[in-house]
Structure 1
Amino acid sequence: MVKNPDLNTVKDMFKKLYLVLVLGAALACKAAPPKHIKVAGSNDIQPDEQQSIVAKTVAQFISNYNYKKVELNDSISQVVYNRYIKSLDESHNYLLASDVQDFDKYKTVLDNDVKEGNLADVFYIFNVYQKRYLEHIQYSIAHIDDNFDYSKNETFVYDRDNQPWVASQSEMDNLWRMRVKYDLLNLKLANPDMTKNKETLKKRYESLLTQANKLNNQDVFQIFMDAFTEAIDPHTNYFNPANAANFNIEMSRQLEGIGAGLSTSNEFITIRSVMSGGPADKSHQINIDDRIVAVAQGKDGAFQNVVGWRIENAIALIRGAKGTTVRLEILPKGTSVSSKPKIVEMVREKIILKDESAKSEIRTYESNGKSLKIGIISVPAFYIDFNDYKSGNPNYKSTTHDVKLIIDSLKQKGVDGIVMDMRQNGGGSLLEAVDLTGLFIKTGPVVQVRNSDNQVEVDKDEDPSIAYTGPLAILVDRFSASATEIFSGAIQDYGRGLIIGTQTYGKGSVQNAIDLDRVISPSVIERISALTKKTTTKPVNTGSQSVFGQLNLTIAKFYRITGNSTQHKGVTPDIQFPSIIPLDKYGEDTEPSAMPFDVIAKSNYTKVGDFTQVVPQLRKLHDQRMENSASYKYLLQDIAEFKKHEDEKSITLNEQKLKQQRDADDKRSFEDENERRVAMGLPALKKGEAKPRNEDLDFLKKEAGQILTDYISLDAKYTSTIVPAN
């Protein structure tokens, strides 16, 4: 949950922190650079001064202003250390036991390292890890031509999370030899041509080496800062400049650029997709699988070759402000790398990411001989364009604005009810959670927010207009979190709609998005920027002018208007579905550093409906359908199958046995798929036949619409107390 950076609750914090951090940054500039420890055989990646400043700044924020008020001490240091090692080598495939034993001396010093801005220990650990990584991949390449015996009853343990660290180099070599054998066997089962398979695997391993050699200190710093901040709480996060830009694109669901999705292939930046209506599309000169050779700014700027670049750095050159010109040198798909590239000139525009915004469909259900139309609105996140919002643009991009337009359209088409599909909606803007709730209620409190000083602020919907007053259901799952829990919790507490699905994630904390450039001395930013330009020919950040990045700091905890927190417990649906997402592995209550559940005083609000009488009837009708539902049976089978595979840790390297197992799995999977299709009223596929595009086999979404249809069709003695008056 990200709160608007300009809300009054954090203005005072910024004033205090500016003074603290200007002094801290100034002292950092005078401090000696971190000690340099070289690891033979690695890329010897080292931290820079801006990262030292960021580490100290983030440590100050967390020590003084995080909601939990956590002291950075030896105990926290050990948690950070364990998280960092796990993030590097969770499956114990790279580091030797002796490496980890060597690292143990850093267990209780990382807290001091961060507070002092000393990242030498952190980078030393990473460089040892990368050295091992490169060694093992190179070893694998050297053993691709080994003569493996696929008739032996050997087993490859691929899930080693709970295995001890490998004790010796010979044991590690054997582990990786088994990995090569496993990879070749996978290829052999698909294609008996072993010469070609070995070439394929060699290219795959060489690609891993190439990617590893492109890692830079921003990557290392991000990995460590993730371990550090999440040891404090799961939702305090630091974003380096590149990731900060991507986070803000996610929040706004728009960017400024050419409207093309990119990927890397054989050292080339390649066009993966072209967005309809964007500059790339309108140029009629850019197609999927075209390769970008070079990028130039403006009509006269020099071209900069981007072959072999990291994709983020290439994107940094291609993105840019609306109205500016960018030129690309393009090798069209199918042309030789020695061909003369064509030049495509485009003017950048604001690109709306429509595929990642709210969208709708209409489904028809039969009930008592009558057809009912249910509108289903899928909401992937609570997004908002903060810049447009702060500038006063009334048409700023947001979840609420998009949903309001969709509701108006659905009403014009005569829908009888609406299902809001909020599954896997991890949240976003707190402002949007309040505003979206306001589309369905007249006025009143939506959420309570308590800060670290135990002051409670009640965020209210103060707009008396209601976009929709008809039958409403909210579909949620385990990955519905944060803003989704505020919205669905408020809808449930007001009695405004049914909540359907599985228990939600349970994230009840509020984060403030802090641009670190705004709280660190401008003179320090200028000096770091100048230093950066002198020492590199490639951009160090992408899509953003940020130097120091962004901190999302947990500053408060939110509560439902009933007074209950959603921490750990989330929102419990009125009608529950089985969860294919393991509740014991995913959710706030599985996070060691998460805050506890608690309760505060309730808000003053008036319910608009009451589902107490109708819910038992709806559950009964749902249960009766499920008893005879093939789709429900397959859902339960999927859950059991998921659990079975999750518990598997190893696989046979006997070719005959593995082939029999794979053939049986493929046969069962094909038959299960066709049974599901038939159960959903779709034709069975023939062997080898491709699935039609945009087919919907979402049984749970269909059932959510059916439950709302049941509700609409129930006797008036139930519905008259539930549907709010217009």
Structure 2
Amino acid sequence: MTKMTRFYTPLLAACFLAIPATVLVPSTGVSLPQTSVLEPSPRHEKVSRLVTTLFERSHYRNARVDDALSSKILDRYLKALDSNRLYLTADDIDRFEKYRFSLDEAVKRGDMDPVFDIFRTYRVRLRNSIENALAQLDEEPDFTIDERYYFDRSEAEWAKDEQELRELWRKRVKNDMLSLVLTNKEWTEAADILRKRYNRVLKRTDQLNSDEVFETFMNSYADTLDPHSNYFSPRNSEEYRIQMSLSYDGIGASLQLTDDYVTVLDIIPGGPASIDGQLKRQDRITGVGQGDKPEITDVVGWRLDDVVQLIRGPGGTVVRLQVLPGGAAPGDPEQVIELRRDKVKLEAQAAQKSTIEVDRDGRKVPIGVIDIPSFYQDFQAKTSGDKNFTSTTRDVERLIGELRKDGIEGLVLDLRGNGGGHLSEATALSGLFIDNGPVVQLKDSSGRVEILRDKQRGIAWDGPLVILVDRFSASASEILAAAIQDYGRGLVIGQRTYGKGSVQNLYDLNRYSARPGQDDFGQLTVTIGKYYRVNGGSTQHRGVLPDIELPSSVDVSKVGESARETALPWDEIATTGYDLYGAPAQFVPSLINRHSDRIDTDPDFRFLLDSIAHANSEDRSVSLHREAREKEREAELMRRLERENERRAALNLEPLEKPEDLDEVEPVDVLLHETAEIVADIVAGPVIARADDASKDVGTN
């Protein structure tokens, strides 16, 4: 399955491309070339009014659509159209200021004229940019000039005039060309690839329809309220339905559009990409090939839905993805990944167990590890009365029994990368480690609070317990981690979690039509509530803070709920009564001291820290001088080789001879192994009460 997200805005795939802009826009408006007519329809008027009503009545914020919101809507819409500030000028932005405090009244009335006026201006600039880019391909650029291209302009000032914008795009087109030349393509071949790419986008731009413009604006509108409220056009409502049914074959990845690249947002556990392990978050897909055919279709600048159609196919067939790794600069070496298409179902994302033996005082301490990719449940089998239905809780309980027989002395639940799933499974799974009680609280926009409880007596594991998390542990994962932490049942180790603590409801807008069966209005997801821990604090925005933090290359300021400008804030409500099993936090300082002593002498951990430091210091620009660019790439490869050989020397391993050998190095899960070491420290404690040692009740119901 190739999963869609709120970033699924097809028109933007045709709107972000490496091309210069030179068109002049009259102060009173613009005239369009002979392209598709972009005008709002009566249906857009109805949907706009309906969505506004639902937001005002149902959204958790109790949203008021007023001048303050109008200003935010304009900013979000401009960001959706030109996030890298490469098309519109400061003069354009000044002209759009007349709409800053009137969009609230416009959406209430269903008046989409301002929306389409802004977009028509944008499309004129885009179309002229493409034509100018094509003209630049007639002459080979001079790659001996010492200049740099800054590929991240998301926080830069808008270009003050046409001349400044033209210079920005001269460098971007030159970089597109150099990126291809550095892959051993002749200039003429590279020019041909770019010519096809630009012409393809020109065609897409001319074919944009009014529904795509409307959907982009409505999602900008929704995003001013929070990042998880979305509008789906009729076309994308069907795509969303297919996605939720998991009824087609793909690679098992969530994709979004970032500038002109289709980027991997997430890897779905249990899917082909997850099983293969090569495709990573933030990787950019630059080409798609089929089977054993040598041709790879360049997809830079394509619409997202068109790339998805190339990736999908009959089960069992092979798709080849040409990928620019996340964090790499344009023009860095790409890799080709072969994946065999298959269906992806939540039920196939089963938890798995393993055992790590840790040396302690001359003996091996067995630590059990259960990897939980998602919170899954065979809901259909459950509702049909099948007593053997599959679920995360049932699988984990079985695995714990098997690990008990293996003689484990401590347990790690690995929730890294677990984006959530069934809420009921998070509640039930918590019950394997506490002897019934509240697990999470839900509060709706009216202030009503509901407490979800584990009602089952008994526990499956009463020994030392650690929850391993990262920045991509979200939603249901955060509920489980927070419950274990609040009850004092175990420690949370890793990175601060995502912070997704909100609840959404899906509205079929066709139900509100005066002509059922005739109108097609699409669908709307609205945030209607928030999750709260048993201690009263929300998981929203803040996430779950680890008791012991492990390093990560993920920048918390750029990834996670707190990185989203319109995310709902953290707050707290009254605590609910629950039993405290212990106070493990008091032992954390001694555990951290032992942890620090270990990593100071661990070659793998030092290697990890060095990699993180290097990733966080990377420049956001690249040289446009060919020789300098080649030297930069060679120096980076040699740096990686040198670092790897330093690690290998410390471990008494044979050194690698050349950079190409780096691809054969098996990665070491340093964080998991260090977590097992910490659990072994806990076992030697004992520092955490067992689950049958519940001491006192905290708070009131």
TM range (shorter): 0.7 to 0.9
1:642–1:60: structure 2 CA closer, same or farther, 3 Å change rule?
same
Q: How far apart are the structure 1 equivalents of 2:652 and 2:219?
A: 46
Counterpart position of 2:634: 663
From 621, 629, 650, the counterpart of 1:650: 621
1:608 aligned to 2:600? no
Q: How far apart are the structure 2 equivalents of 1:397 and 1:47?
A: 48
Q: 1:365 is paired with a residue of what secondary structure?
A: strand
AA partner of residue 527 (structure 1)? Q
From 403, 409, 422, the counterpart of 2:415: 422
Q: How far apart are the structure 2 equivalents of 1:439 and 1:42?
A: 61
1:629–1:220: structure 2 CA closer, same or farther, 3 Å change rule?
farther
1:226–1:611: structure 2 CA closer, same or farther, 3 Å change rule?
same
Q: How far 1:487 sits from its partner (Å)?
A: 1.1
Counterpart position of 1:527: 518
Counterpart position of 1:369: 362
Q: 2:77 is paired with a residue of what secondary structure?
A: helix
1:480 aligned to 2:483? no
Q: How far apart are the structure 1 equivalents of 2:233 and 2:381?
A: 23
Q: How far apart are the structure 2 equivalents of 1:608 and 1:419?
A: 18
Q: 2:679 is paired with a residue of what secondary structure?
A: helix
From 609, 613, 637, the counterpart of 1:636: 609
From 38, 43, 48, the counterpart of 1:55: 48
Q: Does the 8 Å CA contact 1:236/1:554 hold for their aligned counterparts?
A: yes
Q: Does the 8 Å CA contact 2:641/2:662 hold for their aligned counterparts?
A: no
Q: Does the 8 Å CA contact 1:290/1:332 hold for their aligned counterparts?
A: no
From 566, 569, 574, the counterpart of 2:542: 569
Q: Does the 8 Å CA contact 2:242/2:248 hold for their aligned counterparts?
A: no
Q: 1:153 is paired with a residue of what secondary structure?
A: coil
Q: How far apart are the structure 2 equivalents of 1:421 and 1:52?
A: 48
Counterpart position of 2:643: 672
Q: Which runs of 5+ in 1 are unaligned?
A: 1-35, 264-272, 277-286, 292-307, 320-325, 334-347, 530-546
Q: 2:578 is paired with a residue of what secondary structure?
A: coil
Counterpart position of 1:197: 190
From 94, 100, 116, the counterpart of 1:123: 116
Q: How far apart are the structure 2 equivalents of 1:577 and 1:556?
A: 31
1:83–1:656: structure 2 CA closer, same or farther, 3 Å change rule?
same
1:558 aligned to 2:551? no
AA partner of residue 438 (structure 2)? P
1:70 aligned to 2:73? no
Counterpart position of 2:673: 702
From 102, 107, 111, the counterpart of 1:114: 107
Counterpart position of 1:597: 570
AA partner of residue 522 (structure 2)? F
Describe how 1:571-586 pairs up with structure 2 within 5 A: 571-586=544-559
Counterpart position of 2:132: 139
1:679–1:554: structure 2 CA closer, same or farther, 3 Å change rule?
farther
AA partner of residue 220 (structure 2)? A
From 77, 80, 86, the counterpart of 1:93: 86
Q: 2:111 is paired with a residue of what secondary structure?
A: coil
Q: How far 1:85 sits from its partner (Å)?
A: 0.4
Q: Which moved more, 1:427-436 or 1:571-580?
A: 427-436
Q: Does the 8 Å CA contact 2:251/2:342 hold for their aligned counterparts?
A: no
Counterpart position of 1:466: 459
Q: How far apart are the structure 2 equivalents of 1:213 and 1:158?
A: 26
Q: Does the 8 Å CA contact 2:347/2:391 hold for their aligned counterparts?
A: no
1:246–1:504: structure 2 CA closer, same or farther, 3 Å change rule?
farther
Q: How far apart are the structure 2 equivalents of 1:383 and 1:525?
A: 35
Q: How far apart are the structure 1 equivalents of 2:418 and 2:515?
A: 38
Q: 1:256 is paired with a residue of what secondary structure?
A: coil
1:239–1:368: structure 2 CA closer, same or farther, 3 Å change rule?
farther
Q: 2:443 is paired with a residue of what secondary structure?
A: strand
1:159 aligned to 2:130? no
Q: How far 1:459 sits from its partner (Å)?
A: 0.9
From 519, 522, 532, the counterpart of 1:548: 522
Q: How far 1:42 sits from its partner (Å)?
A: 4.8
Counterpart position of 2:23: none
RMSD: 4.0
Q: How far apart are the structure 1 equivalents of 2:239 and 2:601?
A: 46
Q: Does the 8 Å CA contact 1:362/1:374 hold for their aligned counterparts?
A: yes
Q: Does the 8 Å CA contact 1:398/1:432 hold for their aligned counterparts?
A: yes
Counterpart position of 1:508: 501
AA partner of residue 181 (structure 2)? K
Describe how 1:257-406 pairs up with structure 2 within 5 A: 257=248, 288=291, 311=306, 352=345, 358-384=351-377, 394=387, 398-406=391-399
Q: How far apart are the structure 1 equivalents of 2:653 and 2:234?
A: 47
1:437–1:674: structure 2 CA closer, same or farther, 3 Å change rule?
farther
Q: Which moved more, 1:590-599 or 1:222-231?
A: 590-599
TM-score after normalising by structure 1 = 0.73
AA partner of residue 123 (structure 1)? F
1:423–1:107: structure 2 CA closer, same or farther, 3 Å change rule?
same
Counterpart position of 2:24: none
1:693–1:650: structure 2 CA closer, same or farther, 3 Å change rule?
closer
Q: Does the 8 Å CA contact 1:50/1:548 hold for their aligned counterparts?
A: no
From 436, 443, 449, the counterpart of 2:442: 449
1:160–1:692: structure 2 CA closer, same or farther, 3 Å change rule?
closer
Q: How far 1:220 sits from its partner (Å)?
A: 3.1
AA partner of residue 288 (structure 1)? G
Show CA shifts across 1:670-703 (max 9, x none): 3334545676887654425466789443211221
1:499 aligned to 2:492? yes
Q: How far apart are the structure 2 equivalents of 1:315 and 1:651?
A: 31
Query: How many residue pairs were aligned?
Result: 608
Q: 1:191 is paired with a residue of what secondary structure?
A: coil
Q: How far apart are the structure 1 equivalents of 2:234 and 2:653?
A: 47
Q: 2:517 is paired with a residue of what secondary structure?
A: helix
Q: 2:515 is paired with a residue of what secondary structure?
A: helix
Q: How far 1:461 sits from its partner (Å)?
A: 0.7
Show CA shifts across 1:55-107 (max 9, x none): 33221121012121110011101101101101111111112333333322222
Counterpart position of 1:722: 690
Q: How far apart are the structure 2 equivalents of 1:684 and 1:439?
A: 46
Describe how 1:248-259 pairs up with structure 2 within 5 A: 255-257=246-248
1:686–1:47: structure 2 CA closer, same or farther, 3 Å change rule?
farther
Q: 2:137 is paired with a residue of what secondary structure?
A: coil
Identity of aligned residues (%): 37
Q: Does the 8 Å CA contact 1:384/1:398 hold for their aligned counterparts?
A: yes
Q: Does the 8 Å CA contact 1:495/1:722 hold for their aligned counterparts?
A: no
1:627 aligned to 2:595? no
Show CA shifts across 1:173-200 (max 9, x none): 3322221222222333342732333233
Counterpart position of 1:177: 170
Q: Does the 8 Å CA contact 1:39/1:124 hold for their aligned counterparts?
A: no
Q: How far apart are the structure 1 equivalents of 2:346 and 2:218?
A: 29
Q: 1:72 is paired with a residue of what secondary structure?
A: coil
Counterpart position of 1:79: 72
Q: How far 1:49 sits from its partner (Å)?
A: 5.0
Q: Which moved more, 1:88-97 or 1:411-420?
A: 411-420
AA partner of residue 58 (structure 2)? Y
Show CA shifts across 1:121-173 (max 9, x none): 32332333233223223322221232422222223232222333234434433
Q: Does the 8 Å CA contact 1:38/1:124 hold for their aligned counterparts?
A: no
TM-score after normalising by structure 2 = 0.76
Q: How far apart are the structure 1 equivalents of 2:223 and 2:403?
A: 42
Q: 2:182 is paired with a residue of what secondary structure?
A: helix
